[in-house]
Structure 1
Amino acid sequence: MTNKYELHLVTEESVPLEKLLPIIEEAVKGGVTIVQLREKRSTGKRFYEKAKSVKTLLDQYAIPLIINDRVDIALTVGAAGVHVGQDDLPLSSIRKMVPSAMIVGVSTSTIKEAQEAERNGASYIGVGSVFTTQSKADANLLPNGMLAEIAQAVSIPVVAIGGIGLNNMQLLPNEKIAGIAVVSAIMKAGNPYKVAAAFRKVWI
């Protein structure tokens, strides 16, 4: 059975929908196992329309769609899940709002945050930033060895995020984490299919 957390594609908001859909489709064909639609500045209506289009595409491949931050949009489009940060709605409140089967991911960077997320019902945690990243200006770099320590401290799946590329993947403690989340390496690739396939090959 495929581990659905193995290779997350996290989208880049600046890419227009007509370019975004082909990138996602090629990446999925190449081996992406889950897609997180991340929008920080879009209006609710624009985010909703984009989410609807992305979900229609992903449904053809039975790939889960995760919506970043917006629980209302995740519920409205019937997404598989939602991913929230430390400054978003509390996880305990989100769990009361969503179906019990819904995936809820939480961004964490410390053991305390990770254990709290697990206690409050997170399905998985995103841990980062593991490397320097261009796609999130405010991301703090994890201290050396922290990713492995966090993975050891919880029993839910751990997904590494932040500056991950084919050139630095071998530095990750693969045996301790469930998967990786990639933004720029796939979103800015000339051939998203080829890059996604290469990530899967290195991971396996």
Structure 2
Amino acid sequence: MRSRTREERLALLHAAQLYVCTDARTDRDDLADFLDAAYRGGVDIIQLRDKKISARDELDALKILADIAHHHGKLFAVNDRADIAASIGADIIHVGQEDLTPAQVRSLLGQDVLIGRSNRKTDMFRDSLADPDIDYAVMGPVWKTPTKPGRKPVGLAGISAAAQLSDNTRLQQKTHPKPCGLLAE
């Protein structure tokens, strides 16, 4: 499987409209069927995010995701782990505020991999939009979620503030403004 260039990945990212996060679906044992159906149904990017499995099991699940993503001509994302992203040849690595910095990830993975970042406060979102190593930024969670225990949701007011920052950033950028989104867990 040929690795995509940064330009190819950016083109797919800028055209993307639907980004799905999933666990490895070990309780259902239907990961391949689920991923295939999601891409066929219009999903553009799928991120595997499963904190309950080992690194080895995560790599196995990501191999399935990578094969299906490439078959459909779509992107796939690794959550948090630069070592796993490097091992699998990820299109995207998605990091949070407490993970490696985008500059650290970039130094480890190079220029071709895309970097996304989660944000839970307006100032974090603003910083992500300004960071040259970040290719897209998300804001959330919008609502209280069991996957982020104790995390205060940003609510619709937080999403509105992020949308305003995103609009202002797009006006200032001449080419390829950063895609932005909400994290609605």
Q: Distance in 2 between matches of 1:152 and 1:30?
A: 30
Once the 2 structures are TM-superposed, how far is the Cα of residue 135 of structure 1 from its aligned partner?
Answer: 4.1
1:89 partnered with 2:100? yes
Task: Show the counterpart of 1:148.
Answer: 160
State the partner residue of 1:175.
none
Amino acid paired to 1:151: A
Write the deviation string for residues 60-115 of structure 1: whole angstroms up to 9, x where unpaired: 00111100011111111111010011111112211212221311010002221112
5+ long unaligned stretches in structure 1: 164-204
* Matched position secondary structure for 1:145: helix
Amino acid aligned to 1:140: K
Match of 1:137 among 130, 149, 171: 149
1:64 to 75, 89, 93: 75
- Which gives a bigger RCO, structure 1 or 2 (Cα 8 Å, sep 6+)? 1
User: Is the contact between residue 66 and residue 79 of structure 1 (CA under 8 Å) also seen in structure 2?
Assistant: yes
CA contact (8 A) 1:36 1:66 kept: yes
| Letter of the 1:37 counterpart | L
Residues 24, 61 of structure 2: 8 Å contact kept: no
Within 5 Å, which residues of 2 pair with 1:105-116? 105-116=116-127
Q: Unaligned stretches of 5+ in structure 2?
A: 1-10, 170-177
Number of equivalences = 163
Following superposition, the deviation at residue 162 of structure 1 comes to 2.1
CA contact (8 A) 1:4 1:34 kept: no
Distance 1:57 1:145 in 2: 37
TM-score, scaled to structure 1: 0.72
Match of 1:160 in 2: 182
Task: State the secondary structure of the residue aligned to 2:58.
Answer: helix
Q: Calculate the aligned-residue CA RMSD, in Å.
A: 2.1
